[in-house]
Amino acid sequence: MATAICEAQDCVAIKVVPVYFANDSLLIDVRNISKGATQTTSIYVLDAGLDKRVNRLCKALEEKPSRVNYRIIGIGHSRFSNKKRCRDFIPPGDTTFFGPKARFVGEANDFLSVIVDSIIPTWDTNTYQRILIGHSFGGLFGIYCSTLATSPFDEIFALSPSLWVNAGSFRRHYVSSQNIRFYKPAYIAYGSLEVLNFVGPSINRLRRNIKTNDKKYLNFSRIPLKTHFSMIRYMKKLQIAN
């Protein structure tokens, strides 16, 4: 990827131009919440431009008693594009996440490189810990990050992750492979009403197949009366470390 960085008065933008997708851009929304502390927890929020999720989370953290400062780093596309979300959030087809026959693959490894090589050095070098929050395909990206030993995130909140992708290929590959494990804590939450779509059943199947050594890293929550999209509002209720 070719990357150019520019700054605006009220927010910061990174312009990312993949070699195969011209005139592409990511908008980076950085907000600092001071609690008068010496340490800062950074919270990365995917799909930040789709709705008011960053505003709601910011308000909740402002009202939250805490012994650390917070830095919210919202990452969003300049306009909604499911094609771009799939490209950036879905893991690659190199068998590090999906099985060898997976057809629906993306370039999450390149998207993660943008975070590691451009976003962190520019806006997030002095942090105590980094937390990632993703919903749907963004939640799948979170699960992917939690299986990487080199992940820059210390905790993952995966809301309604799309584990159904490729007919549940990750779960089957995870169960059969000795090379896939979880390295970072992942809190996986989904709505009780998602048993009516692919999301809830795919999460439950993974929960029943977690390897013994990985159980300490994973926490599953079923949130009453929540649908796939109403789970987005649950973000402000997450138990983020203080």
- How do residues 114-143 score in pLDDT, each as one tens digit? 899 888 998 899 999 999 999 999 999 999
- 16 pLDDT more than 80: no
CA angle 17, 19, 24 (to 5 degrees): 25
d(C-alpha 69, C-alpha 241), whole Å: 11
Q: What digits encode the pLDDT tens for the residues 69-78?
A: 999 999 988 7
Residue 179: count other Cβ atoms within 10 Å of its Cβ.
Answer: 9
Show the domains of the chain with their CATH numbers. Answer: 2-236 (3.40.50.1820)
Return the C-alpha torsion angle 57, 59, 61, 63, nearest 10: -150
pLDDT at residue 5, rounded to an integer = 43
pLDDT band at 28, cuts 50/70/90?
Answer: confident
Residue 31 phi, psi dihedral angles, 5° rounding: -130, 130
CA atoms lying within 13 Å on the CB side of residue 134: 28
Q: What is the pLDDT of residue 168?
A: 95
Residue 220, judged by CB atoms within 10 A of its CB (0-12, 13-18, 19+), counts as middle
Strands 69-77 and 40-46, bridge-based pairing: parallel
Contacts of 60 (CB under 8 A, 6+ apart): 236, 237
- The per-residue pLDDT of the chain, averaged, comes to 88
Q: For 5-19, 78-92, 98-112, which range has the lowest pLDDT when averaged over its residues?
A: 5-19
